[in-house]
Every structure is written in structure tokens, then in C-alpha cells.
Amino acid sequence: MNNFSYWSPTKVSFGAGTVGQVGAEAKAFGGTNALVVYGMGSAIRSGLLDTVTASLAAEGIEYACVGGVQPNPLAEFAQKIVDDFRGKGVDFVIAVGGGSVIDTAKTVANGLAAPDIPIWDYFCARETVKASLHVGVVLTIAAAGSETSQSAVLTNQTTGIKRGFLSPFNRPAFAIMDPELTYTLSRRDTVCGIVDILMHTLDRYFAPDADNAVTDELGEALMRVVVRYGEIVLESPRDYKARSELMWAGSLAHNGLTGLGQNLDFSVHQLGQALSGKYDMPHGESLSIMWAPWARYVYRDDVPRFARYARNVWGVSDSGDEAAAQAGIDATEGFFKSIGAPLSLTEAVGESVRGDVDALAELCSFYHTRKIGAFRVLDAEDMKAIYMAALCKD
């Protein structure tokens, strides 16, 4: 078993009706003046924002609210929030939403703790977070796992580059997880969430140094659960059991547990982030497009690993590793198709994307300044080849 260090301090309150605990949780972590960050208005329309603020008020916590976080959230928007609220005594940030809102809230918390540092400096590794405000989360979608993770991802609108960074300060103090809050999600949002949960596990599972049996088998079990209950949720959106399983799987897929003792790959995420930055594409759709082209490009580097995945997650019975590996890739792609996730760039963007392949490789490689991946390290030419393979599905 490989060495690892694991630290996951987020307190999780899970289950129906837990939203009413947000004020007590914020107070328990020392909050007295909260900034509540939310998205494009569904939290207002559903009454959720009122429930959150009433809970804060009941505990004597002052609060202000800022909405307008968009999918593929912008660094410029987070910076404006920091600039608007610096010096106003905010000591706690509460995210009401999914990954986009949570990542914005994390970044705002970092920014308010050191308001003279431009927040994009953290994403470019020019600065390291040395202090942050506490963040609390009221989760409304099972997807990104940002409610328990140490990552944050934002898009720089000026450059079109989408970047993320890791910091222990990014882990929220608490997360309120009520599966009933996901009942009214659109089918598209639910599908994107299912893909994202799977990909957070897959980008850890396909590592060059996988040698921890517990880690592997946790990941395989999690993926089987997501496939099983993802299909149920799409048939019965108000199935509490299925929504619960997906919500908890989303957190476990991205809190570090399923990648212990392994170098993380995350090539598919990086390839997808270039798509999201350029086309404002939903994150989950960028992942369903890029996974199979990436897998077919790299699987011969460790055929037995792909064969194990095929057998243990998809029940592939092919006796030969080569056939099993290919069948597992096909099964994953077939599942994405069955739930309505796009499989190609032309399907998602249109024929004009054929002229953008070089630009996508430039964006993903940060203009030839980085390589990506660990399962196989990929340079800009590799990225271009994978984008070419993703153009259309035969």
C-alpha cells in the first residue's frame, strides 16, 4: 500500500430538513456576520434563501446576500464581491448552491482574508492562501463534490482560461446536504452531476501508481452505485433514496478518499475545462465528451487497469484484457449516451468546432506552458490529438 496523508475536516449534516441548522452551524464555528452567496435566482424562487437567512437571524448572525453566480463561474465576479465587501466585518461565507457557487464562495473567503492580493494570483500559483474565512455550504445539486473538497475552479473571462487550485483552506467548515433540495433539478443538470461524480472517481482511479486495494474497491463500488441510482433518479426525480445515494457519492468522489495513495490524473477535467472556458459549456457535458477519446488514446499504457475497471464496474466478462479494456470504454460511453450526455464536440458545439482544435490545445496547455496528466503525461500535441478524436462519434 502506498503512503498517503488524509485530512477531511468538513462537518456534514445530511438528510431531509437539515437546512434549518445552517444558523446554528455557522454560530458554532464562530460566525457573527455572514455573506450568503447564491446563483441565478432559483434559491429565491424556491424559498430556500429565505429559509437560510431566517436560520441565521434566529441565531443572531448578521448577514448580507449576493446572487448572480453563473455556471462556469467567473474570477472577475468573485473579485468584485471581495472588493465590495472588504472592510465590512464579514467573518463567514455561506454558499447556497452547487459547485459554481461553492467555488466562488471559497475564493471570496480567501480574498476577504487577504483583500490586497488579487484572487487570480492563487489560481496562477503566484500566491499561496495563508488564511481564509470559514465557508459553510447548503448544497443544492449532487455533482462537483466541492462541499467537502480542497479545490476551487474559476474562469478568467479576459483570457478564457479556466483554472483550479488546491488548498486546505478551501475545505468548507460544514456542509448541509438535504437530498430533497435536488428534486427540482432539470434533467440536464442531473445528468451533468452524474457524469461529474463518475469522472471525479475515474480521474483518480486511472493512476500510474495504483496499489491501495481499499482505495480501488471504494472507487469501484462508488461508480457502480452512481450508475445504478443515476438511472433511477432520471426515471423518478423525487426518489429520496436515489437522490440521497447520488448526493453522498458526490462528496465521497471528491473529498480525497477515492484517490488515497495515488497520483491524480485529472487529464479529462483539464481537457474539459478548456471547453467550458471557450464555449461556456456545462462542466459535466465537457467530461462526457472527452473521457472516451482520452481513454482510447492512453489505455494501452496499462491495459490490465482498464480491464479491471471493465470487469469490476461494468461486469464485462471478456477473458482477454485487451478486449475487456475496450469493452469497458465502450460501456462507459454507452452509459453516457443512455442518459443523454453528449459524446462529441460537434454534437455539443456544432460543425464550427472543427476549426478550433488548435485553439483548444493552446488553452488546455496554457499556451504550451504546461503538460497534464499522470496516467500518461500529455503535451499540447497529445491534447490536440485527443480533441481531434472528440470531434465526432462514429
Instruction: Output the pLDDT for position 1.
Output: 82
Enter the pTM of the model. Answer: 0.95
- CATH 3.40.640.10 assigned to domain 11-182? The reply is no
User: What residue spans define the domains of the chain?
Assistant: 11-182, 188-389
Superfamily of the domain at 188-389: Dehydroquinate synthase-like - alpha domain (1.20.1090.10)
Kind of pairing, strands 92-97 and 134-139?
parallel
Burial state string for 59-90 with b = 16 or more CB within 10 A and e = fewer than 16: bebebebbbebebbbbbebbbebbeebeeeeb
Instruction: Output the pLDDT for position 48.
Output: 97
Long-range contacts, 308-312 (Cβ 8 Å, 24+):
308/216, 309/205, 309/206, 309/220, 312/217, 312/220
Q: Is 173 helix (H, G, I), strand (E, B) or coil?
A: coil
Cell of 293: 477519446
Taking the C-alpha atoms of residue 301 and residue 158, their distance in angstroms, rounded to an integer, is 37
> Are 172 and 10 a contacting pair, CB within 8 Å?
yes
Kind of pairing, strands 33-38 and 62-66?
parallel
Amino acid at 371: K
Phi, psi (rounded to 5 degrees) for 297: -75, -30
Cell of 24: 446554528
Taking the C-alpha atoms of residue 155 and residue 281, their distance in angstroms, rounded to an integer, is 12
Instruction: Output the pLDDT for position 246.
Output: 98
Could you list the pLDDT tens digit for every one of the 394 residues in the chain? Answer: 889 888 899 999 999 999 999 999 999 999 999 999 999 999 999 999 999 999 999 999 999 999 999 999 999 999 999 999 999 999 999 999 999 999 999 999 999 999 999 999 999 999 999 999 999 999 999 999 999 999 999 999 998 889 999 999 999 999 999 999 999 999 999 999 999 999 999 999 999 988 899 999 999 999 999 999 999 999 999 999 999 999 999 999 999 999 999 899 999 999 999 999 899 999 999 999 999 999 999 999 999 999 999 999 999 997 799 999 999 999 999 999 999 999 999 999 999 999 999 999 999 999 999 999 999 999 999 999 999 999 997 6
Residues 6+ apart with CB under 8 A from 300: none
> Are 179 and 241 a contacting pair, CB within 8 Å?
no
CA dihedral sign of residues 373, 376, 379, 381: negative
> Are 131 and 114 a contacting pair, CB within 8 Å?
yes
Domains 11-182 and 188-389 share a fold: no
Taking the C-alpha atoms of residue 291 and residue 111, their distance in angstroms, rounded to an integer, is 34
What separation, in Å, do the N-terminal and C-terminal C-alpha atoms of the chain show? 41
Instruction: Output the pLDDT for position 70.
Output: 95
Residues 6+ apart with CB under 8 A from 279: 348, 349
